[in-house]
């Protein structure tokens, strides 16, 4: 809260209350003038190096006749996928659980969302290479559909700035690690996900289904019927779930994690309402969101990132937190979103394990080939809830990645995409997306990170530690400078204690430092939480999240590390819990004299005493506008002036 526990109830930090405006690009996370859009949704991904397009402005490398770039032939993405990336076998990484892979996808969705252009003819039924289409040619001379990423339209076509910087791509999500994938990154979505009628600061839940213990599921999307797969056996239809991020239904582990955080929000909100019965629903919602956002930051930076980049790289590229730095732009970079943080695709398993209470193969709901889990929320509702899937991701070792065993055929030959009526290839999509975004080549990024450029086969062999793979890559690309950065970073030999090579460790580390240091609402920043609250937040973990929001009763202390059941598991009673008493706030004398302010329809208030006077600041829900005084003040034992009202906003 940023105030002493015994102080007046102020609700969420007044700055954090403006999250809606920040997400929509109307307000900066930065107080300094001239930086109003740093990290805001629907702004351009940050360029750490100048774009590299075939025509210098926007044409993807290798797109023209013959795919020639700098006099050399760029290999088609599908050929690279089939000859270098695709793997039919994947060994197991017995150090880490599958949760390490799933959390990477989950937290990526909190940071980046690159929308695609949809103008023009139907890309699904033509191979014609015409904007915004950039189809991926396959080995049988057919093609996979591919739409280019939406450009940043603030740079006008043909403008001098456009010609200078090249085509820029949008990040539709707010870059900050703030749990926007739980709450939404637009005012309209945020409002639709809330249980505004309940007056308890909670999120909305599914009205048709709940698990056998009465725990809630995510609500359905507004437009029904949805495009998600239906149970082939028939019965009551289960539609796509709705969450703060539209990709929630891509896989069962993603649905399970979103469900846990929905339940966690409502659990914390209920506890805060009991502790502070004078808090308004808006105060409860905002303060709960603030706690949930902090837990996302803690789990990611403390438990996840060091395992990915290695402890040495973490200290090198991030180091200890030194407080908010207003000179740091926390916007997601293009190379991070489009290449580096897609490293986890090489750790995707070909099957999803579903386990029973003894962490053995579930007799009723067995493990599934991955392609049977895409966009199938019905399997959560009708096949045991989230527990079989959660046990699978914490009780199964992750798939190991190495240079000659990268992406499994489940995602290179049988990937499902809702907008496509054919199987897609994740590796080809990644390579094509990097060229679409004008990412410079592998060597340019190595130089950017202070690493030695690769010039010869021996150089590449030294980096990859597999000469056969190095030979394949150079035979395809003809010159090291042409190697796509996603592929080059993916095949690098892992650093000690990491799951990435030196290039991706640098790029991920640099991005994580910017996300941390450039966010003045970071959980450790001065004034965001009290010292006592920070101590309690550090008790948060994925293990506690699972214990509090499912009927799983035994978990590893660190569920990202693989442990054999039962030796490596402990009872939930041994997992530390956050004591929310640290958020207790006494009623101030003014609040006791004036009482709680009057509630208004289609809006709410938060209390503040920052000006020395107890004030109630009102705001309206999305779609409504405020009429009357925005703030009322407690004077002489009464509130003055009269509270405002919220009226339906016109379309004008």
User: What are the tens digits of pLDDT across the range 470-513?
Assistant: 999 999 999 999 999 999 999 999 999 999 999 999 999 999 99
Mean pLDDT, to the nearest integer, of 521-528? 97
Calpha distance 467→352 (Å, rounded): 32
Contact in structure between 424 and 416 (CB atoms under 8 Å): yes
Residue 125 pLDDT exceeds 80: no
Residue 536 pLDDT exceeds 70: yes
Write the DSSP string, 261-296. Answer: HHHHHHHHHHHHHHH-TTS-HHHHHHHHHHHHHHHH
pLDDT at 145: 86
Mean pLDDT, to the nearest integer, of 445-473? 98
Q: How confident is the model at residue 1 (pLDDT cuts 50, 70, 90)?
A: very low
Residue 630 pLDDT exceeds 60: yes
Which residues share a beta bridge with 361? 355
Q: Give, for 604, the enclosing helix (H) or strand (E).
A: strand 603-608
Residue 100 pLDDT exceeds 50: yes
Q: How confident is the model at residue 71 (pLDDT cuts 50, 70, 90)?
A: low
Residue 424 pLDDT exceeds 70: yes
Q: How confident is the model at residue 81 (pLDDT cuts 50, 70, 90)?
A: very high
* Distances from the Cα of 405 to the Cα of 83, 104, 409, 430, 472, angstroms: 11, 19, 11, 17, 13
Q: Give the 3-state DSSP-derived string for 71-124, with helices as H, strands as E and coil as C.
A: CEECCCHHHHHHHHHEECCCCEEEEEECHHHHHHHHHHHHHCCCCECCCCCCHH
Query: What structural domains does the chain harbor?
Result: 16-135+142-157+164-574 (1.10.640.10), 592-648 (2.10.70.10)
Does the annotation place 345 within a ligand binding site?
yes
More confident residue, 158 or 297: 297
Long-range contacts of 29-36 (CB under 8 A, 24+ apart): 29/176, 29/330, 29/518, 29/519, 29/520, 29/521, 30/326, 30/518, 30/520, 31/326, 31/520, 32/326, 35/329
Which of 138-152, 291-305, 441-455 has the least mean pLDDT? 138-152
Residue 123 pLDDT exceeds 70: no
Mean pLDDT, to the nearest integer, of 611-628? 94
> What's the token pair of residue 192?
């639709």
Residue 305 pLDDT exceeds 80: yes
94, 109, 185, 493: the active-site residue:
109
Calpha distance 369→63 (Å, rounded): 34
Q: How confident is the model at residue 143 (pLDDT cuts 50, 70, 90)?
A: confident
Instruction: Report percent pLDDT > 70 for the chain.
Output: 88
User: What are the tens digits of pLDDT across the range 220-278?
Assistant: 999 999 999 999 999 999 999 999 999 999 999 999 999 999 999 999 999 999 999 99
Round the average pLDDT of the chain to a whole number and report it.
90
pLDDT at 466: 96
Calpha distance 317→513 (Å, rounded): 7
Contact in structure between 224 and 239 (CB atoms under 8 Å): yes
Residue 454 pLDDT exceeds 90: yes
Residue 366 pLDDT exceeds 80: yes
> What's the token pair of residue 336?
């991070």
User: What are the tens digits of pLDDT across the range 146-172?
Assistant: 889 999 876 554 545 545 578 999 999
pLDDT at 129: 59
pLDDT at 66: 46
User: What are the tens digits of pLDDT across the range 558-617?
Assistant: 999 999 999 999 999 999 999 999 999 999 999 999 999 999 999 999 999 877 899 999
Q: Is 109 an active-site residue? A: yes
Q: How confident is the model at residue 52 (pLDDT cuts 50, 70, 90)?
A: very high
Calpha distance 593→291 (Å, rounded): 30
pLDDT at 136: 80
Residue 547 pLDDT exceeds 80: yes
Residue 188 pLDDT exceeds 90: yes
């Amino acid at each position: 809260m940023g105030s002493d526990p015994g102080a007046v109830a102020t609700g969420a930090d007044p700055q954090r209350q403006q999250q809606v405006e920040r997400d929509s690009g109307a307000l900066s996370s930065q107080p300094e003038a001239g930086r109003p859009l740093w990290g805001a949704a629907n702004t351009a991904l940050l360029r750490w190096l100048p774009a590299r397009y075939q025509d210098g402005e926007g044409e993807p490398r290798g797109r023209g006749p013959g795919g020639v770039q700098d006099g050399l032939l760029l290999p088609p993405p599908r050929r690279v996928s089939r000859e270098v990336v695709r793997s039919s076998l994947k060994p197991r990484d017995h150090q880490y659980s599958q949760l390490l892979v799933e959390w990477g996808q989950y937290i990526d969705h909190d940071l980046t969302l690159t929308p695609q252009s949809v103008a023009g003819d139907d890309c699904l039924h033509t191979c014609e290479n015409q904007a915004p289409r950039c189809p991926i040619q396959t080995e049988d001379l057919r093609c996979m559909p591919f739409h280019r990423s939406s450009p940043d339209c603030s740079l006008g076509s043909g403008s001098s700035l456009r010609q200078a910087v090249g085509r820029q791509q949008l990040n539709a999500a707010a870059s900050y690690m703030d749990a926007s994938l739980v709450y939404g990154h637009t005012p309209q979505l945020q409002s639709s996900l809330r249980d505004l009628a309940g007056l308890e600061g909670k999120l909305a839940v599914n009205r048709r289904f709940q698990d056998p213990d009465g725990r809630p599921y995510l609500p359905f999307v507004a437009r029904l019927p949805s495009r998600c797969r239906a149970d082939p056996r028939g019965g009551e239809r289960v539609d796509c779930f709705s969450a703060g991020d539209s990709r929630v239904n891509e896989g069962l582990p993603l649905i399970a994690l979103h469900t846990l955080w929905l339940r966690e929000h409502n659990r914390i909100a209920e506890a805060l309402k009991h502790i502070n019965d004078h808090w308004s629903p808006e105060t409860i919602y905002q303060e709960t969101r603030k706690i949930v956002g902090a837990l996302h930051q803690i789990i990611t930076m403390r438990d996840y990132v060091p395992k990915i980049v290695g402890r040495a790289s973490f200290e090198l590229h991030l180091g200890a937190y030194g407080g908010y730095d207003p000179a740091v732009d926390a916007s997601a970079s293009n190379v991070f979103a489009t290449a580096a943080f897609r490293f986890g695709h090489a750790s995707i398993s070909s099957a999803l394990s579903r386990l029973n209470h003894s962490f053995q193969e579930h007799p009723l709901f067995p493990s599934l080939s991955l392609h049977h889990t895409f966009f199938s929320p019905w399997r959560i509702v009708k096949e045991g809830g989230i527990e079989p899937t959660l046990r699978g991701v914490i009780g199964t070792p992750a798939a190991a990645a190495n240079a000659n065993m990268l992406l499994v055929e489940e995602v290179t030959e049988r990937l499902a995409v809702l907008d496509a009526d054919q199987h897609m290839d994740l590796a080809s999509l990644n390579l094509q997306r990097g060229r679409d975004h004008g990412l410079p080549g592998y060597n340019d990024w190595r130089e950017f990170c202070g690493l030695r450029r690769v010039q010869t086969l021996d150089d590449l062999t030294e980096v990859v530690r597999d000469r056969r793979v190095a030979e394949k890559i150079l035979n395809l690309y003809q010159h090291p400078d042409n190697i796509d950065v996603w592929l080059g970073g993916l095949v690098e030999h892992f650093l000690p204690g990491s799951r990435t090579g030196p290039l991706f460790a640098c790029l991920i580390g640099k991005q994580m430092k910017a996300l941390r240091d450039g966010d003045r609402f970071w959980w450790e920043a001065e004034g965001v939480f009290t010292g006592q609250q920070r101590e309690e937040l550090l008790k948060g973990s994925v293990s506690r999240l699972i214990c509090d929001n499912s009927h799983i009763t035994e978990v590893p202390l660190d569920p990202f590390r693989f442990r054999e059941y039962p030796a490596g598991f402990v009872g939930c009673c041994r997992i530390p819990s956050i004591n929310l008493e640290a958020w207790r706030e006494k009623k101030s004398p003014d609040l006791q004299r004036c009482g709680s302010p009057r509630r208004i329809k289609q809006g709410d208030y938060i209390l503040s005493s920052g000006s020395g006077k107890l004030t109630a600041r009102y705001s309206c829900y999305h779609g409504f506008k405020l009429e009357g005084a925005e703030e009322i003040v407690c004077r002489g034992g009464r509130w003055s002036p009269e509270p405002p009202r919220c009226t339906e906003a016109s379309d004008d």
